[in-house]
Structure 1
Amino acid sequence: MARDLPEVVGALGDLPGCTFLTDDDVSAVVVAVAPAPEPGEGAQPRAGTVDASALYHVDLGEMAERHGLEGAAGDAAVVDLPRPHRGASESFPWADLPRRIVLLGVGDGSTADLRRAGAALARRTAGLERVVSVATAGAPADGVRAFAEGYLLAAYRPERWSGSPDSRPAPAEQLVLLDPASDAEPALVPARRAARATWLARDLTATPSSVKDPAWLADRARTLASAAGLDVRVLGPRELEGQGFGGILAVGGGSSRPPRLVVVSHEPDAAAGEAPRHVVVVGKGITFDTGGLSLKPRAAMAPMKTDMAGAAVALAAVLGAAEAGSPLRVTALLPLAENHLGASSYRPGDVLRLHGGTTVEVANTDAEGRLVLADALDHAVRELAPDVLVDVATLTGAAAVGLGRGHAALYATDEALARTVEAAAARTGEAVWRMPLVADYAEALASDVAALRNVPARPPGGGSITAALFLREFTGGLPWVHLDIAGPARSSGNRHEVVEGATGFGARLLLEVLDLLS
């Protein structure tokens, strides 16, 4: 699905019996510390710390205190032990052991804290060969999974398009999770799958728009889907026109690089009994957004290569579902267009006829995402017979203003489905906040010349809400979830498992939703 991940493996055993600690390629040993029960007592040793202290003949608790560690999740100190002076008559007790010890804060041991600890470890051990960790010894399976996910997510480095190699140190070549009592491998399988999906979404989203036009992204989707054995169809301009995709065609009409619609389908293995539930995921795929004739300000336009993050997440989700052998039918719809300026750009005041015949008055050409999503949602309802409909999009600046960069705005027409998404968010750490579909705001989308306006004539406020209400008109009354990821899809810096730039937010969340719906 994506580039090769760093290797994370599980191993049974404990530090005193760990025969490969004397191997030359083991660069570091990782032990856990946690906050003291009472203030002022300093960080407290956790899993493996006592064994490591006995092996090295060093008081690691005292060492953590000297480095100012309090044991909070993500606290870390790397201790390089000295070599004996040449000619010394006696060697140190750690002469045959790795000379680097990582003291790693694991907080309260919750999945959230272990995910942060794993992320901190990835950044503090970059450039090493093999790292042996006992920080998750005794942790439950979901804690081991969270730790591994955090490590793999923070180990991501974006591909460079300048032609020069990335000079930053690569993550450790192998992380070994050592536990004397349990096998970590079953927990690592979903962690790797979630990380692969996120890496793929990040890679696609971070690709420059000079490379990433609708045709390029459609070809990447075809290549990835075909390699996974999935059915894939790509509709070009002629097919889009013949089937009435007026929104996608209008938005992409101002660009010399025409639009596409990609359909990727995972069909589960045939089994006796009821037909599997069908989940359709629609992802907004604007490969670059100038705002069209309603031109964006310069600063707002700069990050718009990421305006197809929803399509990248939807593609990653269907590929991840196939990798997991999901019993659900899962279809990803990727409406792809470049919202550009040109002689054939659509205009404010135009009336578009979208898929299915609904007419829409264009009031703002920079509210293009809802137009391409509306086409795809209507196509899903009329042609694909879904049981559950999900869309994910960097849709509105209002969502980012209201919720910041840490939460996606969640809208839903089905309470059970909303609770499923919220449960998935709690498990993955990809946070959502339930927003209301305010009935009184719907009248603001009325038009004098069409069935709907794409933005209100007299905005009631709540721009993310009115955008969601617009999309709801095309969902056919089906159980539907809308995720506005305009805030968390992009990050201005590294923080825990989130990386600077394209974050891939939503890929892990949707994979967890699919697991919970199975």
Structure 2
Amino acid sequence: MSTPTVSPAVTAAAPDLRRWTPPVVEVRRTALASADLAGMEVLAVPVAPGAGPDAPLQPRPGAADAAVRYGIDLAAVCAAEQVSGAAATITRLPVPAPEGSPRRLLVVGVGDSSPTALRRSGAALARAAGTGDVVTTLADGVGAAGTRAFVEGFLLASHVPPVSGRKAAAPTTARRLVLLGEVAVADVRHAEVTAGATVLARDLAATPSNVKNPAWMTEQVREVAAGLRLKVEVRDETRLRREGFGGLLAVGAGSASAPALVQVGWTPRATPEAPHVVLVGKGITYDTGGLGIKPRESMVAMKTDMAGSAVVLAVVAAAAKLKLPVRVTGLLALAENAFGASSYRPGDVVTHYGGRTTEVNNTDAEGRMVLGDALAYADAVLQPDVLVDVATLTGAATLGLGKRHAPLYSADAALVDELLAASAATGERLWHMPLVEDYAGAIDSDVADARQVTTTPGFGAGSILAALFLRPFAGTRRWAHLDIAGTGRADGPEHEVTKGATGFGARVLLEWLESMSS
């Protein structure tokens, strides 16, 4: 994507943002012993733990060739450096580089060589390599899943969020990753697409809100869609009012930036009767809390409150790039929850698309208001086989699961199993949570179909209640809800996750969509 343009409705002094350029990934189907390594800064070779506590370290492809090339006893040097072989451990061996060889020789622990271990080892290598060009045998002979995981880990850990001014002057990550050995180019390109989806979601979520508003997000959808010939339909404020999208209109009422519902779709030409999946993303481009205003500290990260919509756009785009035989429609429910004279109020009763009504109790619970409209529209008009929403919805999501697991809500056992399998394959961790029927009465209303939140002091279960609130809008569809309030942002790096916006949800949803055609 090009450098973001500033929408007329946002601050004129918005920064000129520059986006990260990913490393070029090359495949050379040759052994390390005969490879030309001129110009490379880092050589990384894999090792694994021995079979038992006292068993020797196990060299993996390329390790023996590296030992010959550098003229060392690899086992002895690794023993002296206390190399364990555990996944994601990196050791620079203190050996001089022969002429024509990379200056730095790294041994990378790959653990059990599972996709999870290789993804984490790829991430660790990216951080250890810095700006040097990297050549490695870590993807040699590890199969499709292993190659994809390693490349994903390397690219995702390399990612730098959008920066401005002098911050963007110097590169901070590797410019090139060269993979030696038996590596399928198709698997590398696949990993570039899936990692790229996460990066797109991260970049959109990390963009400051003096650049980003609903109009700006709509522009980004158009730009992404134009390159892939995706169909886009935009419901602006006038059309939202005419068609009765009361939730979006209520949340956006206090802002100078008008709300919108953006629809973007991928339809495979070869399989027009493919299953139809609709993905709905919360797109609150900034959240002050409205009249229920947040404390200052809680507002700082609210530029990422549209992470769900970013994930949805990224997944639809990646589905098109991968030519998945699944019809995928994305709905981005876009609004800014601002504080103003026309803000919606506690005590209001809002009529959503389709006629369901909500009694407002907390203007800072705005995400479920916009999702309700989008889910109801998807159910009534788009006729999906499966409906999934993804949203930074509740702070309560982090109380039991922390910031590395996202609650998954669904009463469809088969759909839960599919999503949990995709979670295990991608490392984006989901945890199935209950839709507790006994709790539904906590959001009963005397004046509407439901309360927005419970008014019972100390009731708790905020994430469950939010899911119960959303459920009726999905009708009788197969439906799942992902609450990424904790996982959508990170306070620091961990494996392939970087600080700030994480893009969580893009890879797990892509894996799930791919599994539908396998």
TM-score of Structure 1 vs Structure 2, range by shorter chain: over 0.9
CA distance in 1 between counterparts of 2:139 and 2:515 reads 25
TM (norm. structure 2) is 0.93
Structure 1, gaps ≥5 residues long: 84-93
SS of the residue aligned with 2:474?
coil
SS of the residue aligned with 2:25?
strand
CA distance in 2 between counterparts of 1:58 and 1:270 reads 55
In angstroms, what is the RMSD of aligned CA positions? Answer: 1.6
CA distance in 2 between counterparts of 1:388 and 1:95 reads 58
CA distance in 2 between counterparts of 1:336 and 1:223 reads 17
CA distance in 1 between counterparts of 2:388 and 2:431 reads 16
TM (norm. structure 1) is 0.93
CA distance in 2 between counterparts of 1:239 and 1:67 reads 66
| Residue matched to 2:63 | 49
> 1:408–1:484: 8 Å Cα contact kept in structure 2?
yes
CA distance in 2 between counterparts of 1:125 and 1:183 reads 21
| Residue matched to 1:435 | 433
Tell me by how many angstroms 1:169 deviates. 4.4
Kindly report which structure 2 residues correspond to 1:382-421, keeping only aligned pairs within 5 A, or say none.
382-421=380-419
| Residue matched to 1:153 | 156
CA distance in 2 between counterparts of 1:123 and 1:136 reads 17
Kindly report which structure 2 residues correspond to 1:321-360, keeping only aligned pairs within 5 A, or say none.
321-360=319-358
CA distance in 2 between counterparts of 1:37 and 1:327 reads 42
> 1:253–1:344: 8 Å Cα contact kept in structure 2?
yes
| Residue matched to 2:17 | none
> 1:11–1:184: 8 Å Cα contact kept in structure 2?
no
Tell me by how many angstroms 1:388 deviates. 0.5
Tell me by how many angstroms 1:383 deviates. 1.0
> 2:26–2:176: 8 Å Cα contact kept in structure 1?
yes
| Residue matched to 1:124 | 128
CA distance in 1 between counterparts of 2:75 and 2:306 reads 48
| Residue matched to 1:275 | 273
CA distance in 1 between counterparts of 2:287 and 2:196 reads 27
1:12 partnered with 2:26: no
Q: Higher mean Cα deviation, 3-12 or 448-457?
A: 3-12
> 2:139–2:183: 8 Å Cα contact kept in structure 1?
no
Q: Higher mean Cα deviation, 73-82 or 197-206?
A: 73-82
Kindly report which structure 2 residues correspond to 1:455-494, keeping only aligned pairs within 5 A, or say none.
455-458=453-456, 460-494=459-493
Equivalent pairs: percent with the same residue? 51
Tell me by how many angstroms 1:14 deviates. 1.0
> 1:42–1:70: 8 Å Cα contact kept in structure 2?
no
Q: Higher mean Cα deviation, 51-60 or 480-489?
A: 51-60
SS of the residue aligned with 1:102?
strand
CA distance in 1 between counterparts of 2:320 and 2:258 reads 29
| Residue matched to 1:507 | 506
1:185 partnered with 2:172: no
SS of the residue aligned with 1:441?
helix
Kindly report which structure 2 residues correspond to 1:309-324, keeping only aligned pairs within 5 A, or say none.
309-324=307-322
Tell me by how many angstroms 1:425 deviates. 0.4
CA distance in 2 between counterparts of 1:239 and 1:339 reads 19
| Residue matched to 1:86 | none
Q: Higher mean Cα deviation, 449-458 or 195-204?
A: 449-458
> 2:281–2:312: 8 Å Cα contact kept in structure 1?
yes
CA distance in 2 between counterparts of 1:268 and 1:216 reads 28
CA distance in 1 between counterparts of 2:139 and 2:224 reads 34
CA distance in 1 between counterparts of 2:21 and 2:263 reads 26
SS of the residue aligned with 1:209?
coil
SS of the residue aligned with 1:434?
strand
SS of the residue aligned with 2:331?
strand
CA distance in 2 between counterparts of 1:144 and 1:61 reads 26
Tell me by how many angstroms 1:61 deviates. 2.4
CA distance in 2 between counterparts of 1:261 and 1:235 reads 5
| Residue matched to 1:217 | 217
SS of the residue aligned with 1:467?
helix
1:65 partnered with 2:67: no
CA distance in 1 between counterparts of 2:258 and 2:162 reads 26
| Residue matched to 2:168 | 166
CA distance in 2 between counterparts of 1:106 and 1:515 reads 26
CA distance in 2 between counterparts of 1:466 and 1:169 reads 45
Equivalent residue for 1:26, pick from 32, 40, 53 = 40
CA distance in 2 between counterparts of 1:220 and 1:246 reads 25
1:98 partnered with 2:96: no
| Residue matched to 2:138 | 135
Count of residues paired in the alignment: 499
CA distance in 1 between counterparts of 2:386 and 2:223 reads 26
User: Per the alignment, do residues 448 and 79 of structure 1 end up closer, same or farther by CA in structure 2, a change over 3 Å counting?
Assistant: same
CA distance in 2 between counterparts of 1:418 and 1:293 reads 37
Tell me by how many angstroms 1:167 deviates. 5.9
SS of the residue aligned with 1:481?
strand
Tell me by how many angstroms 1:376 deviates. 0.3
CA distance in 2 between counterparts of 1:491 and 1:344 reads 34
> 1:115–1:146: 8 Å Cα contact kept in structure 2?
yes
| Residue matched to 2:291 | 293
CA distance in 1 between counterparts of 2:496 and 2:387 reads 28
Letter aligned with residue 32 of structure 1: P
> 2:70–2:95: 8 Å Cα contact kept in structure 1?
no
Superposed CA offset, 1:11-48 (max 9, x none): 21211122x12x2x122211112223333556443221
Structure 2, gaps ≥5 residues long: 3-19
Superposed CA offset, 1:37-76 (max 9, x none): 3335564432211121122211222222333321111111
> 1:289–1:304: 8 Å Cα contact kept in structure 2?
yes
| Residue matched to 1:37 | 51
CA distance in 1 between counterparts of 2:101 and 2:245 reads 65
SS of the residue aligned with 1:73?
coil
Tell me by how many angstroms 1:374 deviates. 0.2
| Residue matched to 1:375 | 373
Letter aligned with residue 154 of structure 1: A
CA distance in 2 between counterparts of 1:275 and 1:82 reads 61
Superposed CA offset, 1:459-492 (max 9, x none): 6421100100000010011000100011111001
> 1:261–1:336: 8 Å Cα contact kept in structure 2?
yes
Q: Higher mean Cα deviation, 371-380 or 101-110?
A: 101-110
1:361 partnered with 2:363: no
1:304 partnered with 2:332: no
User: Per the alignment, do residues 232 and 287 of structure 1 end up closer, same or farther by CA in structure 2, a change over 3 Å counting?
Assistant: same
CA distance in 1 between counterparts of 2:48 and 2:171 reads 28
Letter aligned with residue 472 of structure 2: E
Letter aligned with residue 463 of structure 2: S
User: Per the alignment, do residues 17 and 176 of structure 1 end up closer, same or farther by CA in structure 2, a change over 3 Å counting?
Assistant: same
Equivalent residue for 1:112, pick from 108, 111, 116 = 116
Superposed CA offset, 1:292-313 (max 9, x none): 1111122211111100000000
| Residue matched to 1:89 | none
